[in-house]
Structure 1
């Protein structure tokens, strides 16, 4: 893979008429009563076959026909009316269209084959999509009506896209929530992100978050420890930045300060906003000063500290080349770096945190002496699987989702993916975390998963909507104004807040 790739029951049977009498029952002969002779002119009452006596009827047989008729009618009602209302269906063949992203068909095919073997009436048509315009193409296809076979029954979206797909998200059935163990075995971030008005709207197959990558050789050579706070990161980055005689940066301390060449810069800002408690609906009275401070701090790595500049290559490239000490990225960048420089000696650590106690010396915060002096919030960014609320095959779709999210299926997917890259998608289940502890580059992600939160500043979702053209665009313009046009955080913050409010209203965030 190259870098861009990552980025119904039937009615009851009728009884056998031949078996309606027991073996020991004796069939009594019918008593024949001789008709009285009458003349041709005599009128005989229809009922008076025997004067004053009506003909006998066999009561058990009469009851049988009544009960059998009732059962037949009930069976017909259940089969024709009730079962369709409940989503039940016969064993007629069903094909589920599954729109995937990132994972190749070869990785998915093994579990798909196993599911189809166990459910021969259900076929899975897995389609791998290209990332560009995926969100808009998907929305357009879901909006189609009728019997278009190209409309997906199941599809992958980014967790931050739920507000944009509200009309097409089927609720996870209560029985599936229990089977999948969404309430009990998944990290808290999923409940916060994927539950809308009391119902889950999607299920995760993976977890990912923003982490601090670091060059072990550069850090060890300087005798420095990993920073715990943002201020510790700033101090260490300044010390480890190396410039040439012309003032150009030879080794950058940390990739922060710009938007053009800092991969995942929007995730960094989103993380800072979460740690500062900024609302995505941007309450001006409460959030203005916080956003202003975030903009100032982020840009000072270029404007003041000069540990980064806009002439450098992308942060991913510079880190892979061993010329960057600290670099922020999600887990899939590990694959990119390994391909670009297999010999790079690097590690993965939790992101810096924000001090919570006033008047505490930085050295005490960094050493850990000041217990509870830091926030513990991390930035989650991940993809989920959803079922089309307009699909006529929802019952089968959730059956497949239950199978796909089982521990056994997740393990098989991870193992298959590990044959073509360093590791598969990180497990979203808490009970499976320990099985990945031996992977020192994966373990740090799981160590912080219980404390992760997400938001609407996720990079590389290619959504042309809530993230890219919404929240991110306003912050991008603000940072570029500070860095390239000598604007101040005070002068750009109003536009940022207004843009956040407009975006929140457009996508009904917080409602």
Structure 2
């Protein structure tokens, strides 16, 4: 390589003009006239085939010596525009997310407050029995004053096949939200009824509010499945005019007194059949509620449906049939229906649930009818009776169970129960005994309802209740009891009649898983 210090010669060329020129250029400038240019002469032009091209430097003494070339490390990089734009985009995204969260929170809060201020509209379908709309509508209207979002469609149903209708349509999703059922139906409705939520009524509150029989009938496991609005049981109805004629001043207290009074009050015909009966007992075909009576007698005598063929069960059938057997029958299968006979003054005493009282009074307002507790066996003191009442429940498939139970709790309140009694009296002349224990003292002065209240704390339930129209537990058992009475009437022995009845009754109990 040629040594620059030794071979370079510079020739001075005068610059014609004094215009400023670049300090240095990387492209050689073509020589012009009257200009001197320093050109590097190569000392050895042919020493190597590889020629190094040296940069041409143009000097201008006006600006002095040019600064040395800088290395890339000496340059300060310019700010990167893309990085700045990316940072701005991130800020916008964050702000957008924050804005969305704020707006979403506001919308959620607004909707929550709106829901609290304006509850959702709820329609409850209520299928019931016995009570007419004029009785229930005022209670529904009063409830809706404080629950404007609740609409209650009260529908009074026919009792025939009512139980099957509730079960079938509830399974299909077309059933009611609330419905009425008999106190003996719980084993048949285990897939239909929903339990009473404890946040609406605790077990302790339930047990303090209602009679003990309700606690026994409605409890399955640790939950209750219905709220009753009233209580009813079997009572003794007697014609006080008949009693006065023979000098009887008070109703019978024991079975022995009952038999004695019945004989005194019976007026036989020349053929021996009664013209006027002392009491309607002993047959099946013309006595309403005869299965209620037999169920009560079975429990009173220490028997039950699991052993009607026992000695105690046979004794009950014998005792019942004696009232209609020769030679001196007190009652006869030739007599008219017992309730109609009582209304017409042809029988002095009948056993019936209290709801029959209003029907009898409506049929014969001049009848001097009195109500008494049931007679007890010798040695007994408590007026034991059979429970026969209806309960309000909520279906398991209802979409508004909470609202339905809250409405039923309202119906069982003191205020609503007092109003319900007034409406019943207005509609039919007689109200029902409240299911609430704390209201019993308000009705003890009512001579018609007082015996029902006195027996209420001694009630027991047994599925031999007539006129439930359930086509199930009660009706099927009652058919076997009817066979037993008719078989005995036709000469079959009491033990054989009850043994046949036991076979059928046991199959019914097994069908509904009653042990």
Global fold match (TM > 0.5) = yes
Would you say 1:451 and 2:458 are equivalent positions?
yes
Partners of 1:210 and 1:331 within 8 A in 2: yes
| Alpha-carbon separation, structure 2, partners of 1:422 and 1:448 | 22
Equivalences for residues 34-45 of structure 1 within 5 A: 42=78
Q: 1:316 aligns with which of 329, 339, 355?
A: 339
Superposed CA offset, 1:237-268 (max 9, x none): 12221012232311101100011111111110
Tell me the SS of whatever aligns to 1:160: coil
Q: CA 1:383–1:89 in 2, change beyond 3 Å: closer, same or farther?
A: farther
Tell me the SS of whatever aligns to 2:299: helix
| Alpha-carbon separation, structure 2, partners of 1:321 and 1:39 | 127
| Alpha-carbon separation, structure 2, partners of 1:194 and 1:108 | 23
Would you say 1:191 and 2:194 are equivalent positions?
no
| Alpha-carbon separation, structure 1, partners of 2:307 and 2:98 | 73
Q: 1:260 aligns with which of 264, 275, 285?
A: 285
Q: CA 1:116–1:180 in 2, change beyond 3 Å: closer, same or farther?
A: farther
Q: CA 1:179–1:415 in 2, change beyond 3 Å: closer, same or farther?
A: farther
| Alpha-carbon separation, structure 2, partners of 1:462 and 1:222 | 39
Correspondence for 2:349: 326
Correspondence for 1:6: none
Correspondence for 2:329: 306
| Alpha-carbon separation, structure 2, partners of 1:497 and 1:375 | 29
Q: Quote the offset at 1:234 in angstroms.
A: 1.5
Would you say 1:213 and 2:237 are equivalent positions?
yes
Q: Quote the offset at 1:229 in angstroms.
A: 1.9
| Alpha-carbon separation, structure 1, partners of 2:179 and 2:282 | 36
**TM-score computed with the length of structure 1 as normaliser:** 0.78
Superposed CA offset, 1:296-350 (max 9, x none): 1111111144000001011111111112111101111111111221111121001
Partners of 1:354 and 1:375 within 8 A in 2: no
Q: Quote the offset at 1:72 in angstroms.
A: 5.3
Partners of 1:153 and 1:394 within 8 A in 2: yes
Q: Quote the offset at 1:130 in angstroms.
A: 1.1
Q: 1:505 aligns with which of 488, 492, 510?
A: 510
Q: Quote the offset at 1:172 in angstroms.
A: 0.6
Partners of 2:374 and 2:383 within 8 A in 1: no
Would you say 1:396 and 2:424 are equivalent positions?
no
| Alpha-carbon separation, structure 1, partners of 2:501 and 2:270 | 39
Partners of 1:256 and 1:299 within 8 A in 2: yes
Equivalences for residues 241-260 of structure 1 within 5 A: 241-260=266-285
Q: CA 1:477–1:179 in 2, change beyond 3 Å: closer, same or farther?
A: closer
Superposed CA offset, 1:164-198 (max 9, x none): 11101111111332499321021100001011112
Correspondence for 1:412: 419
Tell me the SS of whatever aligns to 2:209: coil
Structure index of larger Rg:
2
Tell me the SS of whatever aligns to 1:168: coil
Partners of 2:373 and 2:383 within 8 A in 1: no
Instruction: Structure 2 unaligned segments of length 5 or more: list them.
Output: 1-73, 89-93
Equivalences for residues 378-393 of structure 1 within 5 A: 378-393=385-400
